Amino acid sequence: MMKNIIQMKKTSYIILAACALLTIVGCEKRLDILPYQSISADNALESEGDVNVTLIGAYDGTQSAAVYGGDIMVLNDLIGNNANITFTGTFAGLVDAYQTIMTANNSFAAGTWIAAYNTINRCNSVLSAIDKVTSSPAKKNSVEGQALFLRASMYFELVRLYGKTIGDGDASVNPGVPLVLNPTKGVSASDYLPRSSVKAVYDQVIADLTKAESLLPATNTIYATKWSAAAQLSRVHLMLKNYTAAGDAANRVIKGSGKSLNPDFTKLWFTFINNGGANPAEYLFSMTVTAQDGTNSLNTYFGRNVGIAGTAGRSDCKIKVAHIALYEAGDARKTHFVLSGGNNYTRKHLDRFGNVPVIRLAEMYLTRAEANFRNSTNVGATPLSDVNAIRNRVGLASLSAVTLDDITKERFLELAFEGHNLHEAKRLQKSVGANAWNSPKLILPIPQREMDVNKSLVQNSGY
Amino acid sequence: MLTILFSLTLLAQTSEVRGKVSDESGQPIVGASVVIKGQSTGVTSDATGVFVLPNALGKQIVVTAVGYDALQLNASNNIQITLKADSRLMSEVVVTGFGGATLKRELTGNIARVKSKEIEFLPTPTVDQALQGRAAGVFVNAQSGKLGQAVTVRVRGNSSISANSQPLYVLDGVPITSQSQSSYGGAMNPLADLNQNDIESIEVLKDASAGAIYGSRAANGVVLITTKKGKAGRTNVSLNLQTGYAEATKRLPMLNSEQYAELILEAAKYSDDKEGIPYNDPYSYTTYVKNDVMDYYSYGQWSKDPTKSYDWQDAVFQRGPYRQADLQIRGGTDRTKFFTSFQHLDQTGTIIGNNLQRSAGRINLDQKANEWLDLGVSMSLARTLNRRLPDDNAFSNPLQAIALNPMTPFADPKTGLPAGTPPGDVNIPLYYNPVLTVDYGKFTQEVYRTFGNSYLKAKLMKGLIFQTEFGMDFLSQNEEGYFRSETVRNQTSAVRGSGRNTGTFITNYNINSYFNYNYSGKKSNLSTTLGMQYQQSQAKYNSTSGTDFPSNSYTKIASAATKSGGSSSQTDFRFLSYFLRANYTLMDKYIVAASGRLDASSRFGKDSRQGFFPALSAGWIMTNEDFMSKIDFLSFLKLRASYGIVGNAEIGDFPQLGLFSGDAGYAGNAGQRPSQLGNDSLRWETTKQADFGIDFGLFNNRITGEIDYYEKKTTGLLLTVNIPATTGFTSVVKNVGKLENKGFEFVLNTQNLIGAFKWTTNINLALNKGKVTDIQGQIIQGGVSNMNRVEQGYNVGVFFTPEYAGVDPKNGDALFYKNTKLPDGKLDRTTTNKYNEAERIVVGDPNPDLIFGFTNNFSYKGFDLSVFFNGVRGNQNNIYGMGRYSSASMLYEDNNTADQLQRWQKPGDITSVPQVRLYYTNGSQASSRYIVDGSYIRLRNVTFGYNLDSKTLRKYKIEKLRVYLSGQNLLTFTKYPYWDPEVNADSFDSNIAKGNDFYTPPQPRTLLAGINISF
């Protein structure tokens, strides 16, 4: 064989050499390539800038449609306010929620769970690297406070959607949701967590929000402020029936935030169509939607193209005439509905790119009023003057006296279709349709996919 | 030796020889090659079998023709040559990759071969569709009747769960981009850029012995596509023109207006009764249905004329013209050979708004540079323009129009424009009218595709060849969409018009360099291959979108006042591989073969970068043994066996890395998020496959066939392992899990009649049983309502849902079997009307147990007829996607399928359709009610042709003129209730989610007339 090769033509050698060269060209190093749109998790949180953009990522998670993009609010109204809404949508998960016949496979129950924990992991990533924020203590406090606020908000929503209400059995025994407070870098047995008790989750929420309120700045453009945290804390305490703490927190917001009720109720909406995307001052926390980013799920399901440019939606949630009849004549909120194609729709969510209000100031007045009324106190103001502040703003005359029912009715009308009703019913122990306030049908199922994966979870009763 | 001397003595004489080649029955053989022995050029016989070979008188000539034994004889003038039908079974050569080719009779692995003749000029726009029913064990599902859409191909079952299970496509040595690059309307098929009439042969490497040379990429089978090469001899010009039309294979019976009114009023009555509302109450369901549904959506027409009815299928189905022209020129000398082709195809879909056009050109050139060096190039340029349809799960999918109320007229009576067009009421019809997207919107996908491969082939010494190839596959794609303001109900961003533009640029380079060494001894042959392959693929994407256009006359993003989106991204992958193959044949009886490949890829984790994939096989040609030679009826018998290991590396790019992604911006500020958990030991999936086969020929090879049994065991399955979502992630990719596929394949070719009237039959049939043996308790699901599931002990993607038990005759309630596990392990077969009480069980499987193809070819004189059936059996489809709305006992206001008329109405009624209840779910939950038999037998193609008499033609210098009629998908035999059992909704398609129907367009039935002229 060797002999043969030697006899070959010279040119063949050249070709052979060239071939050999080509064969060697591909060296192993060429296989070490990295993705372009992603970076290694090992060096994603190395600087203050990395932490800052991860915090933005946490807001992005919070904004996902399944949580504060609006699904949480939509679920609240479909389950808890079905007496006032005719739902004609076809998303099976929402149909079942509306009819309170949810199954463990409910896609919205799964979506909210997944998105909330995804956001929590983003918050935990920020908190785990908070020491990288070294430019100023104020900056560090702000970043930490925001991450705590977002995490606490997620846990608060989770525990009240997936756990039993306070007052329904023993909160220190009732299963809440698993508490995860560190970012996930890999999966091990310790990630298969059982549900912490309802009380344990609430304790964490209160601790986080309290700390967040102390760390956060008073103003922070569209991001969470001290007042966002205090307002959320007032909600938490109201849910827990800690009326003093709820009223105090609400009072701190009203007194401290420097914000006031928008004189024109109808200007609180259409933030994109009429307001260039800016929030009215009354918003204490909201999710900003732009043409490029974010979804307003309230718009998706409550909205409709009513002929105003920029309005859109699936027209799924039609407001019953009986609901509109609940408003007194002259109430600006009574005319805040639009008749289109034979059905009424709320004007609150027509704007396709409208920001999603999470908490606004009016709620704080009503919370303070209720807390003061129940405690027979006048912290900040009398219940009567707080209720009248809300009434006067929509063109209604002042009342001369208020009852608890007046306060809760005002709250119901003011905050209608903003995603309060399920928890209001539970808190006030009012039945929803045929379901008692503590009916298992009003509690979301732990998603089947989660039950299947994690054997240490227990399912809610009825699923 | 004597012959050569004899030839030499006559060398001086120069005179031509005329002759005629015919078969044993006296029929002329067209295209037989006649060459002087020892020369490479010659001539071919014409349509009458006649040839004229210059300078041949008295010389030894060799006459060959496909399907006949070669004959060598002394040339004399007016020689009558009779060729015998091929007695040496499988004298055809099979391509094995990397310059390898082996006689089929000596093959020890399993390779299915499809020849150009079988698939030429079929009205199937993609080559994978043309494989359907032609190769045993290759399952093809065209998925939908949309043009150029992705096609499911499975070789010997589904051998993966989370990774891609499509085969590797290798075109003239280059692994080509075959994954969808679509950003709109479901997955498309990049094979649509290949003119299938350029193909000489397709080899499907099915077992490990054949596939191991493709190592980590062969577990799903490898499809080697070889394009036509030039031929020495006179230049042949062939022109093929065909034209015709296509129509949807089926219409679905829906309720007409009166039937719809009957059902929805009955349903409303139930709901009123349930809630205690008087029917005439202004807020009753009944009033709502009459006023706000039937009257409103009919523009007030229903109350005036309740009989007026519109089948919305008429508005969205159409007869689509089909035109195709192919020109092929083929010829060459002994040094230069060429094949060139041009094609233009213009196919209009059977659904409104769908059109596919392809213009393609190719040149394949082979040059003998000198006695030791050959070089050549094959190059194809194509432009494919596809006006696409939205994905199945879009209100703008034209077939979703069947959900509209039958009383809704196609046009708004006030404006005469399609219903729902502004300035008319845009909230009519019930849902968005998909016709608007066709009339006022457009989405086109334009692909410029270059396939090229150049090679140098050096004969280094006797038997030793070195070949190096540089190949490329450039895919350059522009997708462009514009939706006018009329479509705003569907396209919410289109208030003042909405446009988008997406670019995709994939550059895929491939280098093959290898040595082939062949040794032929007296008793033995050895052929070996040793080489390397390097592939590098880079995919770049960019997109822009905009809204707010000055008017509908402006459709480019340049005019958009708001640039609503923009992005660019990139992803790469690389493979570096070394391979070896050796085949040894002893005494033409005993054959052994070994091959192996060492693969490294950028897709694998840093702890498992390289994998080795070996295979061994052996064959024994028993009929060449003395003791077998006495068995007269047995012309050929070979036993073969193979075993090897191959892999599946179609696991996406960078699945192994722990990542953060920078796509988490909020309100205009940049953000990042944890996006993927890493796995350093992530690697390919491993499939071990054993194959036992028998190749046989009987009665002088009038009957030939193959029988194979195989077992494929796949381990290290890449599973997207579900993890608790509380971690912030829903899954992590790991090599866990096992599955297996076992099956039989049968191929039978018979020459039933020979002589003037010829009849041949080809049957291929495959049985496959797939079973997931270990998924470590993972819940893996997908498809419509997550009904496709991976369950241990079952095939991949089985339907897992509660079992429907029919209707309670007492009250019309839908019933379900509880199927809860009893203490004795049996299932509780009692029924319940509470859906939540019913456990999910496996109720169906989208993977067929049996697939087959059945072809009969007849010819008599100038006539030829080919009848081709194919079919699948034992698979189920899931119709819940549409059924939950349209076969749903009037849960919603959607029009329903006509079978809902069989609903329960009064106590004692025995039916499977529950009572109709408006907005009260009754039996329309996901259940086995919607899992239906997907078996079918389809008359896939019938072609009837006539070759004009060649004597007449010769006067006009025409070699051949054939006219033909061809029909595709002419008949379908099935029990499937919806449009088409060969279905898989694009919106839900994944490796495990198959067999779903979601308003999915059916296959076209195409009728063509064609003419083929050769000069």
User: Does the pLDDT value for residue A224 go beyond 80?
Assistant: yes
Which residue of A lies nearest to B540 if distances are taken between CA atoms?
A36
Buried b / exposed e over B962-974, threshold 16 CB at 10 Å, is bebebbbbbebeb
C-alpha angle B421-B425-B431 in degrees, rounded to nearest 5: 75
* pLDDT tens string B331-352: 999 899 999 999 999 999 999 9
Q: Which residue in the set B653, B661, B666 is minimally distant from A59, CB to CB?
A: B666
Nearest to B949 by CA among B961, B965, B963: B961
Note whether B562 contacts A291, CB cutoff 8 Å: yes
**Of B814, B910, B702, the residue nearest B87 (C-alpha):** B702
CA-based angle B932:B935:B938, to the nearest 5?
135
- The whole-angstrom separation of Cα B441 and Cα B491 is 10
Q: What tens digit of pLDDT does each residue of A359-417 get?
A: 999 999 999 999 999 999 999 999 999 999 999 999 999 999 999 999 999 999 999 99
| Shortest CA gap B911–chain A (Å) | 25
Residue B208 CB partners (closer than 8 Å, separation 6+) = B109, B218, B615, B642, B643, B644, B645, B646, B687, B688, B689, B690, B691
Helix ranges (H only) for B452-509 are: none
B954/A201: higher pLDDT: A201
Give average pLDDT by consecutive 10-residue segment, chain B, 1015 residues.
39 68 78 80 80 83 79 84 66 82 86 89 86 93 92 92 92 94 91 94 92 92 94 90 94 96 97 94 94 95 96 96 96 93 96 96 95 93 96 94 97 95 91 95 96 93 90 96 93 89 96 91 91 94 94 92 91 93 92 94 87 95 87 90 94 89 92 92 93 93 94 91 92 90 96 90 96 87 92 94 96 96 93 93 96 96 94 96 94 95 96 95 95 97 92 85 95 96 93 94 95 93
Residues of chain A in contact with residue B834, where contact means CB-CB under 8 angstroms, are: none
> Is the CA virtual torsion B829, B831, B837, B841 positive or negative?
positive
Q: Taking the domains of chain A in order of start, what are their residue ranges?
A: 46-441
The pLDDT value given to residue B40: 66
CA–CA separation, B474 and B508 (whole Å): 6
> Is B727 close to A184, i.e. CB distance below 8 A?
yes
Tell whether the model's pLDDT for residue A60 goes beyond 50: yes
As given in the structure block, the two tokens for residue B65 are 């023709």
User: Given pLDDT bands bounded at 50, 70 and 90, which one contains residue A5?
Assistant: very low
Q: At what angle do helices A383-393 and A404-414 cross, to 10 degrees?
A: 30
Single-letter amino acid, residue B745: E
| CATH number given to A46-441 | 1.25.40.390
Query: Chain A contacts of B893, Cβ < 8 Å?
Result: 88
Contact B189, B358 (CB under 8 A): no
Two tokens, residue B710: 């195989």
Q: At what angle do helices A404-414 and A361-375 cross, to 10 degrees?
A: 170
Nearest-Å Rg of the Cα atoms of chain A is 27
Q: Residue A34's pLDDT is what?
A: 86
Chain A partners of B672 at a C-beta cutoff of 8 Å?
39, 44, 50, 53-54, 56-57
DSSP H helices, B585-682, are: none
8 Å CB contact between B815 and B805: yes
Residue A9 CA, chain-centre distance (Å), reads 78
Q: Which of B577, B703, B570 is nearest to B636 (CA)?
A: B703
pLDDT tens track for A325-345: 999 999 999 999 999 988 999
DSSP string, B335-400: SEEEEEEEEEEEEE-SBTT-EEEEEEEEEEEEEE-SSSEEEEEEEEEEEEEEEPPPPTTSTTSGGG
Token pair, residue B247, equals: 């129509």
What pLDDT is stored for residue B530 in this prediction?
Answer: 93
Query: Between chains, do B513 and A22 touch, taking CB under 8 Å as contact?
Result: yes
Type of residue numbered B714: T
Please tell me the predicted confidence (pLDDT) of residue B126. Answer: 87
B668 neighbourhood in chain A, CB within 8 Å: 290, 292-293
CATH number of the structural domain B2-82 = 2.60.40.1120
Q: How does strand B757-774 pair with strand B850-860?
A: antiparallel
| pTM of the predicted structure, to 2 decimals | 0.83
Q: What is the pLDDT of residue A22?
A: 56
**How do B673-676 and B659-661 pair as beta strands?**
antiparallel
Element (H, E) at B208: helix B208-211
Best to test chain A binding among B660, B731, B781, B839 (most A CBs inside 10 Å): B660
SS3 B110: coil
Q: What is the interface size between A and B, counted as CB pairs within 8 Å? A: 264
- Name every residue whose Cβ is closer than 8 Å to that of residue B225 and which is 6 or more positions away in sequence: B127, B169, B170, B171, B172, B194, B199, B201, B202
Q: What is the pLDDT of residues A305-329, one digit of tens each?
A: 998 888 999 999 999 999 999 999 9
Count CB atoms within 10 A of the CB of residue B762. 18
Interior angle at CA B641, CA B635 and CA B642, nearest 5: 140
Contact across the interface for B779 and A452, Cβ inside 8 Å: yes
Q: Residue holding tokens 């509660």?
A: B802
The answer to whether B175 touches B469, Cβ cutoff 8 Å, is no
pLDDT at position B390, please? Answer: 94
For A69, A277, B567, the CA distances from B667, given in Å and listed in that order, are 13, 10, 16
List, in sequence order, every beta strand (DSSP E) within B587-684: 590-601, 610-621, 634-648, 659-661, 673-676
In the numeric block, which tokens belong to residue A309? 């440019």
Overall size of chain A counted in residues: 463
| Per-residue CA distances from B691 to B96, B406, B643 (Å) | 17, 56, 6
Cβ contact A122–B570 (<8 Å)? no
Query: Mind spelling out the 3-state secondary structure of chain A?
Result: CHHHHHCCCHHHHHHHHHHHHHHHHCCHHHHCCCCCCEEEHHHCCCCHHHHHHHHHHHHHHHCCCCCCCCHHHHHHHHHHCCCCEEECCCCHHHHHHHCCCCCCCCHHHHHHHHHHHHHHHHHHHHHHCHHHCCCCHHHHHHHHHHHHHHHHHHHHHHHHHHCCCCCCCCCCCCECCCCCCCCCCCCCHHHCCCCCEHHHHHHHHHHHHHHHHHHCCCCCCCCCCHHHHHHHHHHHHHHCCCHHHHHHHHHHHHHHCCCCCCCCHHHHCCCCCCCCCCCCCCEEEEECCCCCCCCCHHHHHHCCCCCCCCECCCCCEEECHHHHCCCCCCCCCCCCEEEECCEEEEHHHCECCCCEEEEEHHHHHHHHHHHHHHHCCCCCCCHHHHHHHHHHHCCCCCCCCCCHHHHHHHHHHHCCCCCCHHHHHHHCCCCECCECCCCHHHCCCCCHHHHHHCCCCCCCCCC
Q: B373: which chain A residues are within 8 Å (Cβ-Cβ)?
A: 15
**CB-CB under 8 Å, B785 with A56:** no
**Chain B hits for A58, Cβ within 8 Å:** 671
Mean pLDDT score of chain A: 92
Residue of A nearest to B570 (CA): A36
Return the percentage of chain A with pLDDT > 90, whole number.
Answer: 83
Cα-based distances in Å from B530 to B173, B219, B938: 15, 21, 44
Distance CA B316, CA B322 (A): 18
Q: Shortest CB distance from A38 goes to which of B426, B534, B659?
A: B659
ipTM surpasses cut 0.95: no
Choose the mutation target among B291, B464, B505, B726 for the interface with A, i.e. most A CBs under 10 Å. B726
Using the 8-state DSSP alphabet, how is residue B4 labeled? H
SS (H, E, C) B860-896: ECCEEEEEEEEEEECCEEECHHHHHHHCCCCCCCCCC
For position A6, what pLDDT does the model report?
42
Among the listed ranges A13-17, A58-62, B810-814, B969-973, which one has the minimum average pLDDT value?
A13-17
Alpha-carbon distance A246 to A243, whole Å?
Answer: 5
H-helix segments, B562-649: none
Whether the upstream peptide bond of residue B423 has omega within 30° of 0, thus cis, is yes
Strand partners, B367: B336, B375
In this complex, which of A18, A292, A454 lies closest to B724 when CB atoms are compared? A454
Name the residue among A59, A183, A313 with its Cβ closest to that of B674.
A183
pLDDT value of residue B46: 80
Neighbours of B912 (CB within 10 A): 15
pLDDT at A19: 57
Which residue of B673, B736, B776 to mutate against A (max A Cβ within 10 Å)?
Answer: B673
Q: What is the mean pLDDT of residues A93-106?
A: 93
Distance between CA atoms of residues B289 and B890, nearest Å: 12
**pLDDT for A249:** 97
Would you kindly state where each structural domain of chain B is located, as residue ranges? 2-82, 257-310+889-922
Separation CA A231–CA A224 (nearest Å) = 11
Report how far residue A261's alpha carbon sits from residue B444's, in angstroms, rounded to the nearest whole number: 51
Mean pLDDT of A14-34: 65
Six token digits for residue B503: 């670019």
